[in-house]
Amino acid sequence: MLINLSIKNYALIDSLSVNFKDKLSIITGETGAGKSILLGALGLGLGNRADASTLKDASKKCVIEAQFSISNYNLKPFFEENELDFEDVTIIRREILPSGKSRAFINDTPTTLQVLNALSEKLIDVHSQHQTLQLSDVQFQFQIIDALANNAAKIESYKRGLILFNKLKSELNDLKLKQEKAKEQYEYNLYLFEELNKAAFKIDEQEENEQELDRLNNIEDIKLNLSEAQSVALNEEIGLQSMLTLFTSSLSKIASFSKEYESLYNRALSLKIEFDDIASEIEDFNENVEFDASALEKLNDRLQLTYNLQKKHGVSTIADLLEIQEALSVKVDAVTNSSAIIAEKENEVNEVAKKIDELAKSIFQQREKAIPVLIEKLESSLTNLGMENTRFQFKLSHSKQYFTNGKDELQLLISANKGMNFGELKKVASGGEMSRIMLSVKAILSTYLKLPTIIFDEIDTGVSGDVSQKMADIMQVMSENMQVITITHLPQIAAKGQQHYKVYKQDIENDIVTQLRMLDKEERIMEIAEMLGGKNISSTAIEHSKQLLN
State the span(s) of the chain assigned CATH 3.40.50.300: 2-150+385-519
Q: Are 203 and 318 in contact (CB under 8 A)?
A: yes
Q: Which fold has domain 2-150+385-519?
A: Rossmann fold (3.40.50)
pLDDT tens profile 267-277 = 989 998 998 89
What pLDDT is recorded for position 130?
Answer: 65
R_g of the chain, CA atoms, integer Å? 48
Q: Give yes or no for residue 384 having a pLDDT over 90.
A: no
Residue 49 is predicted with a pLDDT of 85
H/E stretch holding 18: strand 13-19
Nearest-angstrom CA–CA distance, 97 and 54: 10
Q: Is the pLDDT assigned to residue 103 strictly greater than 90?
A: yes
At residue 207 the predicted structure's pLDDT band, cuts being 50, 70 and 90, is confident
Which of 375, 422, 365 minimizes the C-alpha distance to 396? 365
pLDDT in tens, 170-184: 999 998 888 777 777
pLDDT band, very low/low/confident/very high, at 431 (cuts 50, 70, 90): confident
Quick check: 377 and 437 in contact, CB under 8 A?
no
329-364 tens-digit pLDDT: 888 877 777 788 889 999 999 999 999 999 999 999
- CA dihedral for 33, 35, 40, 46, sign (positive or negative): positive
Residue 487 contacts residue 458 (beta carbons within 8 Å): yes
What strands lie across the sheet with 124-127, from one edge to the other?
A: 124-127, 453-457, 483-487, 24-29, 499-507, 512-518
> Beta-carbon neighbour count of residue 473 at 10 Å?
15
3-state secondary structure 270-301: HHHHHHHHHHHHHHHHHHHCCCCHHHHHHHHH
Total residues belonging to the chain: 550
Sequence-distant (≥ 6) Cβ neighbours of residue 427 within 8 angstroms: none
Q: Determine the Cα–Cα distance for residues 299 and 291; give it in Å rounded to an integer.
A: 13
Q: For residue 202, which amino acid is it? A: K
Secondary structure class of 240 (helix, strand, coil): helix
Residue 293, pLDDT > 80, answer: no
1-29 per-position pLDDT tens digit: 999 999 999 988 888 999 999 899 999 98
With 90 as the cut, is the pLDDT of residue 67 above it?
yes
Residue 221 confidence class, pLDDT cut points 50, 70, 90: confident
What is the pLDDT, as a whole number, of residue 230? Answer: 81
On the 0-12 / 13-18 / 19+ scale of CB atoms within 10 A, 454 is buried
Across 43-52, 151-160, 249-258, 449-458, the highest mean pLDDT is recorded for 151-160
Is-contact 353 365, C-beta < 8 A? no
What is the 3 state secondary structure string of 178-216?
A: HHHHHHHHHHHHHHHHHHHHHHCCCCCHHHHHHHHHHHH
CA dist., res. 65 & res. 95, Å (int) = 9
List beta partners, residue 15. Answer: 8
Which burial class, exposed, middle or buried, applies to 411 when counting CB atoms under 10 A from its CB (0-12, 13-18, 19+)?
Answer: middle
Examine the pLDDT at 168 and tell me if it is beyond 80.
Answer: yes
pLDDT bin (cut points 50, 70, 90) of residue 129 is low
pLDDT score at 363:
96
The burial of 234, by beta-carbon neighbours within 10 Å (0-12 exposed, 13-18 middle, 19 or more buried), is given as middle
Looking at residue 68, its pLDDT comes to 94
Is this prediction's pTM over 0.75? no
Supply the DSSP symbol for 257.
G
- pLDDT per residue over 294-324, tens digit each? 878 888 888 888 889 989 999 989 899 999 9
Three-class DSSP category at 518: strand
φ, ψ of residue 173 in degrees (nearest 5): -65, -40
CB atoms within 10 A of CB 453: 20
